[in-house]
A and B are shown apart, each in its own frame.
Chain A
Amino acid sequence: EVQLVQSGAEVKKPGESLKISCKGSGYIFSSHWIGWVRQMSGKGLEWMGIIYPGDSDTRYSPSFQGQVTISADKSISTAYLQWSSLKASDTAMYYCARAAPGSYFGMDVWGQGTTVTVSS
Protein backbone atom coordinates (compact mmCIF):
# COMPACT_ATOMS: atom_id res chain seq x y z
CA GLU A 1 0.00 0.00 0.00
CA VAL A 2 1.31 3.41 -0.96
CA GLN A 3 1.22 5.72 2.03
CA LEU A 4 2.75 8.73 3.69
CA VAL A 5 2.97 8.71 7.47
CA GLN A 6 3.65 11.97 9.24
CA SER A 7 5.13 12.57 12.66
CA GLY A 8 2.90 13.34 15.60
CA ALA A 9 1.37 16.52 16.93
CA GLU A 10 3.72 19.14 18.33
CA VAL A 11 3.26 21.84 20.98
CA LYS A 12 6.02 24.43 21.00
CA LYS A 13 6.81 27.87 22.37
CA PRO A 14 7.55 30.90 20.19
CA GLY A 15 11.19 31.02 19.19
CA GLU A 16 11.71 27.27 19.41
CA SER A 17 12.83 25.16 16.47
CA LEU A 18 10.92 22.25 15.01
CA LYS A 19 11.35 19.57 12.35
CA ILE A 20 8.41 17.40 11.31
CA SER A 21 8.65 14.37 9.06
CA CYS A 22 6.80 12.52 6.34
CA LYS A 23 7.79 8.91 5.64
CA GLY A 24 6.82 7.26 2.39
CA SER A 25 6.31 3.56 1.81
CA GLY A 26 5.00 1.25 -0.87
CA TYR A 27 6.59 3.13 -3.75
CA ILE A 28 9.92 4.46 -5.01
CA PHE A 29 10.20 7.52 -2.78
CA SER A 30 12.97 9.19 -4.78
CA SER A 31 10.90 9.24 -7.98
CA HIS A 32 7.96 11.41 -6.89
CA TRP A 33 7.73 15.05 -5.88
CA ILE A 34 6.65 15.61 -2.28
CA GLY A 35 4.78 18.79 -1.40
CA TRP A 36 4.05 20.44 1.93
CA VAL A 37 0.72 22.17 2.47
CA ARG A 38 -0.40 24.40 5.35
CA GLN A 39 -3.96 24.67 6.56
CA MET A 40 -4.68 27.13 9.32
CA SER A 41 -7.75 26.49 11.43
CA GLY A 42 -10.90 27.07 9.40
CA LYS A 43 -8.93 28.27 6.39
CA GLY A 44 -7.92 27.00 2.98
CA LEU A 45 -4.98 25.02 1.68
CA GLU A 46 -1.68 26.76 0.97
CA TRP A 47 1.28 25.36 -0.91
CA MET A 48 4.45 25.83 1.09
CA GLY A 49 6.95 24.14 -1.19
CA ILE A 50 7.90 21.01 -3.01
CA ILE A 51 10.93 18.74 -3.18
CA TYR A 52 12.09 16.01 -5.52
CA PRO A 53 13.82 13.50 -3.25
CA GLY A 54 15.82 12.02 -6.10
CA ASP A 55 18.02 15.10 -6.42
CA SER A 56 16.69 17.36 -3.63
CA ASP A 57 15.47 19.97 -6.13
CA THR A 58 13.42 22.21 -3.82
CA ARG A 59 11.06 25.06 -4.63
CA TYR A 60 9.30 27.40 -2.20
CA SER A 61 6.15 29.45 -2.49
CA PRO A 62 7.02 33.13 -2.12
CA SER A 63 5.08 33.39 1.14
CA PHE A 64 7.18 30.68 2.75
CA GLN A 65 10.61 31.34 1.21
CA GLY A 66 13.03 31.99 4.05
CA GLN A 67 10.46 31.01 6.67
CA VAL A 68 10.84 27.22 6.48
CA THR A 69 13.27 24.64 5.15
CA ILE A 70 12.17 21.60 3.20
CA SER A 71 14.52 18.64 2.87
CA ALA A 72 14.49 14.93 2.17
CA ASP A 73 16.59 11.85 2.93
CA LYS A 74 15.90 9.38 0.17
CA SER A 75 17.87 6.67 1.96
CA ILE A 76 15.11 6.48 4.56
CA SER A 77 12.24 7.64 2.31
CA THR A 78 11.52 10.64 4.49
CA ALA A 79 10.82 14.30 3.78
CA TYR A 80 11.06 17.05 6.35
CA LEU A 81 9.67 20.48 7.07
CA GLN A 82 11.52 22.58 9.59
CA TRP A 83 11.41 25.93 11.33
CA SER A 84 14.33 27.60 13.06
CA SER A 85 12.24 30.01 15.13
CA LEU A 86 8.52 29.35 15.43
CA LYS A 87 5.90 32.05 15.68
CA ALA A 88 2.36 31.85 17.00
CA SER A 89 1.20 32.34 13.41
CA ASP A 90 2.80 28.98 12.49
CA THR A 91 0.01 27.24 14.41
CA ALA A 92 -1.69 25.08 11.80
CA MET A 93 -2.16 21.63 10.32
CA TYR A 94 0.61 20.62 7.95
CA TYR A 95 0.18 17.97 5.28
CA CYS A 96 2.69 16.28 3.05
CA ALA A 97 1.54 14.82 -0.25
CA ARG A 98 2.97 12.88 -3.19
CA ALA A 99 2.68 13.88 -6.83
CA ALA A 100 0.87 11.29 -8.94
CA PRO A 101 3.02 9.48 -11.50
CA GLY A 102 3.41 11.60 -14.60
CA SER A 103 1.46 14.49 -13.10
CA TYR A 104 2.55 18.05 -12.53
CA PHE A 105 1.61 18.20 -8.87
CA GLY A 106 -1.66 16.36 -8.91
CA MET A 107 -1.15 15.00 -5.40
CA ASP A 108 -2.58 11.52 -5.15
CA VAL A 109 -1.39 10.39 -1.73
CA TRP A 110 -1.59 12.52 1.40
CA GLY A 111 -0.22 12.12 4.87
CA GLN A 112 -2.58 12.21 7.81
CA GLY A 113 -1.40 15.68 8.78
CA THR A 114 0.68 17.03 11.65
CA THR A 115 -0.82 19.60 14.00
CA VAL A 116 1.62 22.24 15.16
CA THR A 117 0.61 24.49 18.04
CA VAL A 118 2.84 27.41 18.97
CA SER A 119 1.88 29.10 22.20
CA SER A 120 3.62 30.72 25.11
Chain B
Amino acid sequence: QSALTQPASVSGSPGQSITISCTGTSSDVGGYNYVSWYQQHPGKAPQLMIYDVSKRPTGVSNRFSGSKSGNTASLTISGLQAADEADYYCSSYTSTSIPVFGGGTKLTVL
Protein backbone atom coordinates (compact mmCIF):
# COMPACT_ATOMS: atom_id res chain seq x y z
CA GLN B 1 0.00 0.00 0.00
CA SER B 2 2.01 2.98 -1.29
CA ALA B 3 1.33 6.59 -0.50
CA LEU B 4 -0.46 8.61 -3.14
CA THR B 5 1.76 10.98 -5.13
CA GLN B 6 1.41 14.73 -4.63
CA PRO B 7 3.73 17.56 -5.68
CA ALA B 8 5.92 18.64 -2.78
CA SER B 9 5.03 22.27 -3.25
CA VAL B 10 2.88 24.65 -5.24
CA SER B 11 2.61 28.40 -5.13
CA GLY B 12 0.38 31.17 -6.36
CA SER B 13 -0.37 34.84 -5.91
CA PRO B 14 -3.42 36.19 -4.11
CA GLY B 15 -6.48 36.01 -6.31
CA GLN B 16 -5.05 33.35 -8.57
CA SER B 17 -6.16 29.71 -8.84
CA ILE B 18 -3.96 26.72 -8.13
CA THR B 19 -4.45 22.98 -8.55
CA ILE B 20 -2.87 20.22 -6.51
CA SER B 21 -2.77 16.76 -8.03
CA CYS B 22 -2.96 13.41 -6.27
CA THR B 23 -2.00 10.36 -8.30
CA GLY B 24 -2.70 6.80 -7.31
CA THR B 25 -3.66 3.57 -8.99
CA SER B 26 -6.76 1.67 -10.00
CA SER B 27 -6.68 0.12 -6.52
CA ASP B 28 -7.28 3.43 -4.81
CA VAL B 29 -7.97 6.78 -6.52
CA GLY B 30 -9.01 5.26 -9.83
CA GLY B 31 -11.16 2.54 -8.34
CA TYR B 32 -13.36 4.51 -5.98
CA ASN B 33 -15.02 7.91 -5.73
CA TYR B 34 -13.80 8.26 -2.17
CA VAL B 35 -11.02 10.83 -2.32
CA SER B 36 -10.73 13.40 0.45
CA TRP B 37 -8.60 16.51 0.83
CA TYR B 38 -7.32 18.00 4.08
CA GLN B 39 -5.81 21.35 4.95
CA GLN B 40 -3.32 21.53 7.80
CA HIS B 41 -1.89 24.73 9.22
CA PRO B 42 1.31 24.48 11.30
CA GLY B 43 0.67 23.12 14.75
CA LYS B 44 -2.98 22.42 14.03
CA ALA B 45 -5.07 19.33 13.38
CA PRO B 46 -6.03 18.65 9.76
CA GLN B 47 -9.34 19.98 8.48
CA LEU B 48 -11.52 18.25 5.91
CA MET B 49 -11.95 20.40 2.80
CA ILE B 50 -13.35 17.93 0.25
CA TYR B 51 -14.70 14.38 0.52
CA ASP B 52 -16.04 11.82 -1.93
CA VAL B 53 -13.99 13.53 -4.69
CA SER B 54 -16.00 16.74 -4.92
CA LYS B 55 -18.28 17.23 -1.91
CA ARG B 56 -17.68 20.16 0.41
CA PRO B 57 -18.44 19.92 4.12
CA THR B 58 -20.65 22.60 5.59
CA GLY B 59 -18.64 25.70 6.28
CA VAL B 60 -15.90 25.12 3.71
CA SER B 61 -15.58 27.92 1.17
CA ASN B 62 -16.76 27.24 -2.36
CA ARG B 63 -13.34 28.46 -3.49
CA PHE B 64 -12.27 24.87 -2.82
CA SER B 65 -13.29 22.24 -5.35
CA GLY B 66 -12.33 18.68 -6.13
CA SER B 67 -12.35 16.49 -9.21
CA LYS B 68 -10.99 13.21 -10.52
CA SER B 69 -9.90 11.79 -13.83
CA GLY B 70 -8.69 8.22 -14.01
CA ASN B 71 -6.10 7.60 -11.32
CA THR B 72 -5.55 11.28 -10.55
CA ALA B 73 -7.60 13.48 -8.26
CA SER B 74 -7.24 17.23 -8.05
CA LEU B 75 -7.93 19.99 -5.57
CA THR B 76 -8.44 23.45 -7.00
CA ILE B 77 -8.37 26.59 -4.90
CA SER B 78 -9.64 29.70 -6.62
CA GLY B 79 -9.29 33.29 -5.48
CA LEU B 80 -6.19 32.39 -3.48
CA GLN B 81 -5.92 34.06 -0.07
CA ALA B 82 -3.07 34.35 2.39
CA ALA B 83 -5.02 32.16 4.84
CA ASP B 84 -4.91 29.31 2.31
CA GLU B 85 -1.17 28.92 2.88
CA ALA B 86 -0.92 25.48 4.48
CA ASP B 87 -0.10 21.85 3.84
CA TYR B 88 -2.65 19.87 1.84
CA TYR B 89 -3.10 16.12 1.91
CA CYS B 90 -5.21 13.86 -0.25
CA SER B 91 -6.53 10.54 0.98
CA SER B 92 -8.28 7.72 -0.83
CA TYR B 93 -10.14 4.58 0.11
CA THR B 94 -8.34 1.51 -1.21
CA SER B 95 -8.98 -2.07 -2.22
CA THR B 96 -7.55 -3.18 1.14
CA SER B 97 -10.46 -1.40 2.85
CA ILE B 98 -8.16 1.03 4.60
CA PRO B 99 -7.42 4.52 3.29
CA VAL B 100 -4.04 5.89 2.27
CA PHE B 101 -2.70 9.48 2.33
CA GLY B 102 -0.68 11.35 -0.18
CA GLY B 103 2.72 12.70 0.81
CA GLY B 104 1.39 16.23 1.22
CA THR B 105 1.79 19.49 -0.68
CA LYS B 106 2.99 22.76 0.79
CA LEU B 107 1.04 25.68 -0.65
CA THR B 108 2.79 29.02 -0.58
CA VAL B 109 0.84 32.20 -1.26
CA LEU B 110 3.31 34.65 -2.75
Contacts and interface: CB of A to CB of B under 8 A. Distances in A.
A75 interface: no
Contacts of B100: 47, 61
Contact of A44 (B48, B96, B104): B104
Nearest to B105: A44
Contacts of B102: 44
Interface stretch (B14-22, B31-39, B74-82): B31-39
A106 B51 contact: yes
A83 interface: no
Contacts of A45: 38, 40, 46, 89, 91, 101, 104
Nearest to A43: B104
B93 interface: yes
A60 B103 CA distance: 19
Nearest to B35: A106
Contacts, number: 79
Contact of A61 (B34, B40, B98): B98
A59 B97 contact: yes
Contacts of B89: 44-45
Contacts of A112: 45
A24 interface: no
Interface string A13-50: 00000000000000000000001010000001111011
Contacts of A62: 1, 96
Given A44-B104, A105-B93, A100 B51 contact: yes
Nearest to A106: B51
Contact of B36 (A59, A63, A107): A107
A108 B57 contact: yes
Contacts of B38: 45, 107
7 contacts: A45-B40, A97-B46, A104-B52, A106-B51, A106-B52, A108-B48, A111-B45
Can you list the 6 inter-chain pairs with the closest CB atoms, starting with the nearest? A106-B51, A104-B34, A110-B45, A44-B104, A106-B36, A105-B99
Interface of B: 1, 3, 32, 34, 36, 38, 40, 45-48, 50-52, 55, 57, 87, 89, 91, 93, 96-104
